[in-house]
């Protein structure tokens, strides 16, 4: 029973104090609760409008009572106001984002209150097909029934098509089920999404030992040869590729490369054995938002970020509810048993998996018992394990529930972050069963063990591991406390995994970017090449011919001239709004021929900077006779240290040309040279305009590498570099009259003004 339920009708006790009801503040909450229940059950149409009006009135009344009530303690007033804010947030939801709110708060509730999300027909939808039939004969009824069935089937199909399908994809599920953590987790993810997700689901395994597609229950098995084309034919809104590394993308000649993908990887080194060309392609698709990464350790995330990827999100081994299953354990020091279970490995990987270290630990601790799950068909069982009296080996698949009931500790002896599924699912499952873990520092799970305290993180040698095992043996119950339990639940409860996946699926675009290889190939057929990277960009724009024709090549048509005019007006508006009558010191970076400088000099003192001497010549000549002519500076933003402090930095048609690692460097440099209240003004290409445009016109018409963004992506990118958006102005929508309406009516770019966080 809650605190409020314990209070009697006339008084409420709180912290040993008496609180008068004062006109029924709590009754208002109870009325709101009933209204919210009604709203969840039928959240549409006039009933919702009535609910909103009545609830808003009650909230206003409640706010007034809280503010006017001197008898309510400050603490209780704060609690009540927080409740008011939460209720207001719920009421202000629209039908469009109702789904998202419910999936965040209670994913399973959504399927109970929104039957069409399960492929069913809601009563209100079915009613429109029944009509008002007072009397019919049998023949009429049969005809009507036929039409009714068609209507219902059509509605079901429309619902399914509207939401699309998510595919959970792994390799060789049949061979490895029950003995491989990655495949087991893929199945758990499928079951979780099946229970809570509004999208249709397919569970797909790419199998090397079959010749044609097979369906076994809810599992779709596709042959390795041609797998990509088979999966592409399903027209999935999102593919979730579950593997230790992104190498799964190499299947079937990388035919899935351009698909919309979440890579759900383990915690080991995710980039091991990937070629430079593969890395460049993966970074390219990650940059365009076509690929997203979830990894199971911060070590793996660091490796990807250091190599130019957007930093992946950490998603520890999947636990659908994060609960810890407490058991009454009878612990005896003399029977202390350590368990080891790992995924299958290939020849040559035993050292990285810590098998040699494990053998040394077994030999050095004869008074400790060891239970080993050996799942390596191609790797011989070490002699030490076969001979040691304190070691029991179980081959092949095993009942993991029985395994955990027979051990007191799990050991993760990995020696390298390579080839080791570094965030071991067995360690997570052990801790969920209230079993402590000893792991080496290179194991991805080490950060979880260290943070929750349910075990020890050791060094990479026998003495360190043995010492950690004995510490747990001698102080066993110190690791299994309500505090460590709560910490583990907080870390593992990945409630937002469904939201992450559905948000990504919602972004599905019918138009996809091409690979770098394909982009360059098409250009070469026309005698050109893809200009990409800092060195290539600098060399390209240092050519006199390119510099002289810069504006002519880009802003000669009436529509683009008008676009140029609008963009410069947007810049002027931001200057006027942000600085008022103050005259700022402005650095116009990558000024080109001075197109943006022409606007900057109207608002303050401007320095035009570029890495191309040819471009700077054009600027000098262009403003030679201007009274407020700009200063000229040769600056290579990426290579040079930029001196001085500036009130504003403008940078147009430059940041877009670089991959994420270089863009982050550029943002960092701009942040360092801006004054504390300075502003960065730049342009952002809109992906919903640029992608369909390039597919319509042909990628071979564009030889300069560009990256495109949606609003969410640019906001996140700026936030991670210490900026927030203060102004964002859509630019160019409706100008390109020669384009289809779905492209023409999108903004071409956004003009962004960003300030420091």
Q: pLDDT for 515-533, tens place per residue?
A: 999 999 999 999 999 999 9
At 524 the pLDDT is 96
Ramachandran category for residue 273: left, alpha or beta (phi over 0 → left; psi -120 to 50 → alpha): left
Cβ count within 10 A of residue 114: 17
3-state SS string for 148-188? HHHHHHHHHHHHHHHHCEEEEEEECHHHHCCCCHHHHHHHH
| Three-state DSSP state, 391 | strand
Cα 328 from chain centroid (whole Å) = 38
Whole-number Cα distances in Å, 119 to 156, 164, 187: 6, 12, 22
Question: For residues 655, 656, 657 and 662, what is the CA-based torsion angle, rounded to 10 degrees?
Answer: 50
Counting Cα atoms < 13 Å in the Cβ hemisphere of 172 gives 11
At 552 the pLDDT is 67
Run of H or E including 506? helix 497-506
Token pair for 175? 């061979």
Cα distance between the two ends of the chain: 44
Phi and psi, residue 729, nearest 5°: -120, 120
User: Over the stretch 702-745, which tens digit does the pLDDT of each residue have?
Assistant: 999 999 999 999 999 999 999 999 999 999 998 888 899 989 99
Partners of residue 685 on adjacent β-strands:
749
pLDDT tier, 257 (very low <50, low <70, confident <90, very high otherwise): very high
Q: Is the pLDDT of residue 25 over 80?
A: no
Comparison of pLDDT for 101 and 425, the residue scoring more: 425
At 20 the pLDDT is 38
Q: Which CATH number fits domain 333-489: 3.90.280.10, 2.30.110.10, 2.60.40.10, 3.40.50.2000?
A: 3.40.50.2000
At 322 the pLDDT is 45
Comparison of pLDDT for 637 and 373, the residue scoring more: 637
Whole-number Cα distances in Å, 333 to 266, 362, 436, 741: 34, 17, 14, 75
Cα separation, 271 vs 303, whole angstroms: 8
Partners of residue 391 on adjacent β-strands:
370
Range with the poorest average pLDDT among 87-101, 145-159, 457-471, 555-569: 87-101
Whole-number Cα distances in Å, 537 to 295, 521, 618: 33, 19, 18
Q: Is the pLDDT of residue 410 over 60?
A: yes
User: Over the stretch 80-107, which tens digit does the pLDDT of each residue have?
Assistant: 556 556 555 555 555 445 555 555 555 5
At 457 the pLDDT is 96
Comparison of pLDDT for 175 and 605, the residue scoring more: 605
At 455 the pLDDT is 95
Partners of residue 202 on adjacent β-strands:
167
Token pair for 331? 């612990």
Token pair for 5? 């339920």
Range with the poorest average pLDDT among 111-125, 469-483, 591-605, 642-656: 111-125
Cβ count within 10 A of residue 618: 21
At 110 the pLDDT is 56
Cα separation, 171 vs 694, whole angstroms: 34
% pLDDT > 70, the chain: 74
% pLDDT > 90, the chain: 48
Cα separation, 226 vs 569, whole angstroms: 53
* Burial category of 340 from C-beta neighbours within 10 Å (exposed 0-12, middle 13-18, buried 19 and up): buried
Phi and psi, residue 698, nearest 5°: 105, 130
User: Over the stretch 309-345, which tens digit does the pLDDT of each residue have?
Assistant: 999 998 887 754 445 455 555 677 778 999 998 666 6
pLDDT tier, 184 (very low <50, low <70, confident <90, very high otherwise): confident
Q: What value does the mean pLDDT of the chain take?
A: 81
Q: Is the pLDDT of residue 195 over 60?
A: yes
Phi and psi, residue 586, nearest 5°: -120, 135
Cα separation, 237 vs 254, whole angstroms: 18
At 1 the pLDDT is 40
Q: Is the pLDDT of residue 139 over 80?
A: no
Cα separation, 370 vs 389, whole angstroms: 9
Q: Where do the structural domains in the chain lie, given as residue ranges?
A: 4-92, 164-314, 333-489, 516-756
516-756 topology per CATH: Rossmann fold (3.40.50)
Q: Is the pLDDT of residue 644 over 70?
A: yes
Residue with tokens 């010492």: 467
Cα separation, 422 vs 632, whole angstroms: 53
Comparison of pLDDT for 45 and 548, the residue scoring more: 548
At 522 the pLDDT is 96
Highest mean pLDDT among 45-59, 342-356, 726-740: 726-740
Comparison of pLDDT for 482 and 118, the residue scoring more: 482
Range with the poorest average pLDDT among 91-95, 170-174, 454-458: 91-95
Cβ count within 10 A of residue 478: 12
At 267 the pLDDT is 85
Token pair for 488? 């583990």
Range with the poorest average pLDDT among 44-53, 240-249, 649-658, 663-672: 44-53
Comparison of pLDDT for 400 and 111, the residue scoring more: 400
At 696 the pLDDT is 93
User: Over the stretch 553-600, which tens digit does the pLDDT of each residue have?
Assistant: 676 778 888 888 999 999 999 999 999 989 999 999 999 999 999 999
At 651 the pLDDT is 97
Q: Is the pLDDT of residue 221 over 80?
A: yes
Same fold flag, 164-314 and 516-756? yes
Evaluate whether 102 touches 113 at the Cβ level (below 8 Å).
yes
At 128 the pLDDT is 58
| Three-state DSSP state, 15 | coil
Q: Which CATH number fits domain 164-314: 3.40.50.11930, 3.30.565.10, 2.40.160.40, 3.40.50.300?
A: 3.40.50.11930
At 17 the pLDDT is 32
Strands 219-223 and 214-216: antiparallel
Contacts for 745-749 with beta carbons within 8 Å, 24 or more apart?
Answer: 746/686, 746/688, 746/689, 747/686, 747/689, 748/563, 748/685, 748/686, 748/689, 748/690, 749/567, 749/683, 749/684, 749/685, 749/686, 749/689
Q: Is the dihedral of CA 315, 320, 321, 327 positive or negative?
A: negative
């Amino acid at each position: 029973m809650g605190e409020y339920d314990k209070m009697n009708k006339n008084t409420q006790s709180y912290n040993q104090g008496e609180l008068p009801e004062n006109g029924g503040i709590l009754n208002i909450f109870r009325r709101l609760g009933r209204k919210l229940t009604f709203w969840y059950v039928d959240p549409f149409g006039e009933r919702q409008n009535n609910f909103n009006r009545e609830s808003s009135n009650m909230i206003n009344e409640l706010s007034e009572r809280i503010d006017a009530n001197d008898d309510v303690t400050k603490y209780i007033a704060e609690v009540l106001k927080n409740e008011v804010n939460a209720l207001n947030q719920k009421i202000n939801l629209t039908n469009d984002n109702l789904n998202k709110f419910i999936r965040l708060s209670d994913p399973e509730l959504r399927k109970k209150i929104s039957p069409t999300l399960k492929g069913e027909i809601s009563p209100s939808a079915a009613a429109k097909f029944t009509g008002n039939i007072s009397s019919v004969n049998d023949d009429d009824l049969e005809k009507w029934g036929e039409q009714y069935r068609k209507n219902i089937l059509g509605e079901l199909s429309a619902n399914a098509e509207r939401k699309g399908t998510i595919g959970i994809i792994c390799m060789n599920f049949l061979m490895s089920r029950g003995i491989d953590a990655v495949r087991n987790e893929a199945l758990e993810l499928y079951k979780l999404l099946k229970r809570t997700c509004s999208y249709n689901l397919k569970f797909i395994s790419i199998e090397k030992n079959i010749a044609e597609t097979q369906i076994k229950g809810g599992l779709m098995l596709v042959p390795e040869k041609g797998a990509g084309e088979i999966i592409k034919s399903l027209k999935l809104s999102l593919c979730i590729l579950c593997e230790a590394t992104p190498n799964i993308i190499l299947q079937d000649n990388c035919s899935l490369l351009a698909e919309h993908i979440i890579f759900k990887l383990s915690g080991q080194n995710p980039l091991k054995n990937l070629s430079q060309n593969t890395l460049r392609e993966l970074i390219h698709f990650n940059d365009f938002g076509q690929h997203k990464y979830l990894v199971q350790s911060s070590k793996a995330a660091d490796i990807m970020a250091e190599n130019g990827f957007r930093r992946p999100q950490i998603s520890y081994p999947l636990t659908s509810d994060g609960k810890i299953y407490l058991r009454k354990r009878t612990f005896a020091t003399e029977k202390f048993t350590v368990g080891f279970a790992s995924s299958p490995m290939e020849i040559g990987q035993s050292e990285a998996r810590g098998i040699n270290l494990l053998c040394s630990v077994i030999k050095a601790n004869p008074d400790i018992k060891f239970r080993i799950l050996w799942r390596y068909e191609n790797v011989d069982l070490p002699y030490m394990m076969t001979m040691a009296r304190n070691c029991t080996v179980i081959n092949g698949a095993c009942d993991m529930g029985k395994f955990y009931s027979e051990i007191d500790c799990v050991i993760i002896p990995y020696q390298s972050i390579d080839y080791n599924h570094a965030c071991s699912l067995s360690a997570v499952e052990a801790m969920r069963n209230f079993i402590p873990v000893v792991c080496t520092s290179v194991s991805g799970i080490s950060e979880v063990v260290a943070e929750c305290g349910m075990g020890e993180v050791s060094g990479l040698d026998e003495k360190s591991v043995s010492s950690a095992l004995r510490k747990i043996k001698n102080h066993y119950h110190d690791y299994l406390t309500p505090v460590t339990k709560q910490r583990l639940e907080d870390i593992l409860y990945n409630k937002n995994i469904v939201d992450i996946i559905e948000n990504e699926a919602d972004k599905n675009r019918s138009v996809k970017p091409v690979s770098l290889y394909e982009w360059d190939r098409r250009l070469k057929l026309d005698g050109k090449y893809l200009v990409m990277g800092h060195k290539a960009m600098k060399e390209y724009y240092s050519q006199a011919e390119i510099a002289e024709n810069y504006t002519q090549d880009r802003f000669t048509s009436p529509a683009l001239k008008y676009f140029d005019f609008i963009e410069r007006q947007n810049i002027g508006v931001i200057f006027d709004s942000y600085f008022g009558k103050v005259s700022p010191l402005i650095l116009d970076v990558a000024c080109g021929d001075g197109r943006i400088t022409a606007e900057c000099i109207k608002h303050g003192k401007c320095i035009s900077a570029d890495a191309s001497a040819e471009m700077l010549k054009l600027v000098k000549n262009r403003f030679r006779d201007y009274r407020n002519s700009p200063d000229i500076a040769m600056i290579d933003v990426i290579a040079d240290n930029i001196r001085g402090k500036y009130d504003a930095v403008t940078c147009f048609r430059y940041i877009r040309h670089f991959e994420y690692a270089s863009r982050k460097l550029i943002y960092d440099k701009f942040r360092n040279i801006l004054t504390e209240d300075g502003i960065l003004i730049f342009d952002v290409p809109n992906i919903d305009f640029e992608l369909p445009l390039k597919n319509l016109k042909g990628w071979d018409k564009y030889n300069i590498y560009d990256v495109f963004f949606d609003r969410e992506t640019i906001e996140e990118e700026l936030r991670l570099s210490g900026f927030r958006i203060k102004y964002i102005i859509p630019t160019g929508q409706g100008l390109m009259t020669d384009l289809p309406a779905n492209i023409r009516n999108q903004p071409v770019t956004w003009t962004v003004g960003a300030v420091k966080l």
